[in-house]
Amino acid sequence: MRSPKDFFAPLAVGAPAPVREIPASPSRMIHFFDPSNEKMAAKVPDLAAKTDVLLGNLEDAVRADRKEAARAGLVSIAKATDFGATQLWTRVNSLDSPWVLDDLITLVTEIGDKLDVIMVPKVEGAQDIHYVDRLLAQLEARAGLRRPLLVHAILETASGVANVEEIAGASPRMQGISLGPADLAASRRMKTTRVGGGHPGYLVRSDPAGDDLHSGRTTYQQDLWHYTVARMVDACVLHGILPYYGPFGDIRDVVACEDQFRNAYLLGCVGAWSLHPVQIDIAKRVFSPEPKDVAWARRVIAAMGDGTGAVMIDGKMQDDASVKQCRVVAELADALAA
Ligand code: GLV
Ligand code: MG
């Protein structure tokens, strides 16, 4: 049995072993664009200045007869654009499609030095990551690339969710995992036709008031994605990679989008996808800790001294565990300020 680190061995004779580094720069929003759409492509330099990650999408939402144009468009945009500190990612076609082999060969050969992360859709298990990992190693060696490309899996099949721990640990190239709620809903035969977010029928109802069973009862919508996001976060933490919420398709419903992103943030996700510039701002706001939370965290850290024991602050007990929670918030604020 090969260990995951064997899949990272350099193919070139005498080459030093490459080191995996998840980019330290933030990735609060992964902004999708269609490189076959000339109007969208023209906006890339502007968007690159606004987003943490820009992703050239080749998979779903690109028509079958536009796949080649999208691939070629991404190559020319990547060559012509200075992305500065913004990371450039791509989402290639799925491993069972007729396009993915050419996607990987072309992108690694032509713009492998510009790309940071390759997002792989519909990952079912570790075998899918092993396949991409070996192919990337061959293509990187042939192209003479010294910096290994990283891999990001979309969790969007029932079998992917069942295998999420092995996917997260399948290769040192793994950068992170995103929830793909649309494909996952279809794979699980859930009865929602929405792309991400909740559903008005998925609710709990308060107890009846008095004898009247139907009046005065409040309903609360529940989070359809709570279980999967929590499971994905645990798998990512276990293997030291980053979890993300995926798409929120109702662009006009900025309130529900913000609520969904915040649920994911509070559960441990570091970012979400953005399908429209308006969602860039939502994700930036949600995935950056609020100043009042940062101030509170710093107060607790200062009061806790060496981080052991217990203190009372504003009537709330703080101890070794709560100071660790506060460090998560303070460290995120420091990383974003750097
Ligand atoms: C994303 O790809 C999704 O299917 O939700
Ligand atoms: Mg999908």
Angle, CA 23 vertex, CA 268 and CA 151 arms, to 5°: 80
For range 275-301, the mean pLDDT: 98
Ligand 1, residue 121: give the atom nearest the CA: 2
- Whether the pLDDT of residue 5 is over 60: the answer is no
CB-based contacts of 268, cutoff 8 Å, min separation 6 = 230, 233, 236, 237, 243
Q: ipTM value of the model?
A: 0.99
Secondary structure of residue 129 in the 3-state scheme:
helix
Cα dihedral 254, 257, 259, 265 in deg (nearest 10)? -130
Pocket test for ligand 1, best of 30, 60, 120 (most atoms within 8 A of CB): 60
Distance in Å, CA 68 to ligand 2 centroid: 19
**How high is the pLDDT of residue 15?**
53
Residue 118 dihedral angles phi and psi, to the nearest 5°: -110, 120
Q: Tokens for 319? A: 């101890």
Bridging pattern class, strands 150-155 and 174-179: parallel
Q: Which residue has the higher pLDDT, 22 or 245?
A: 245
Pocket test for ligand 1, best of 92, 177, 183, 275 (most atoms within 8 A of CB): 183
**How high is the pLDDT of residue 24?**
86
Ligand 1, residue 183: give the atom nearest the CA: 4
In angstroms, the CA 118 to CA 115 distance is 8
For range 36-47, the mean pLDDT: 92
Question: On the CB side of 64, how many CA atoms lie within 13 Å of its CA?
Answer: 2
Bridging pattern class, strands 311-313 and 316-318: antiparallel
Residue 275 CA: which ligand is closest? 1
CB-based contacts of 294, cutoff 8 Å, min separation 6 = 329, 330, 333
In angstroms, the CA 74 to CA 52 distance is 18
Q: Tokens for 203? A: 């609710």
**How high is the pLDDT of residue 148?**
95
Residue of the CA atom closest to atom 2 of ligand 1? 180
Query: At 12, is the pLDDT very low, low, confident or very high (cuts 50, 70, 90)?
Result: low
Residue of the CA atom closest to atom 1 of ligand 1? 180
> What percent of the chain has a predicted confidence (pLDDT) above 90?
87
End-to-end CA distance of the chain: 42
- Whether the pLDDT of residue 2 is over 90: the answer is no
CB-based contacts of 130, cutoff 8 Å, min separation 6 = 7, 170, 171
Distance in Å, CA 59 to ligand 2 centroid: 8
The binding-site residues of ligand 1, defined as CB within 6 angstroms of any ligand atom, are 60, 121, 154, 156, 180-183, 246-247
Distance in Å, CA 160 to ligand 1 centroid: 13
Q: Tokens for 254? A: 């900025």
- Whether the pLDDT of residue 14 is over 60: the answer is no
Angle, CA 21 vertex, CA 19 and CA 294 arms, to 5°: 155
- Whether the pLDDT of residue 17 is over 80: the answer is no
Average per-residue pLDDT for the chain: 93
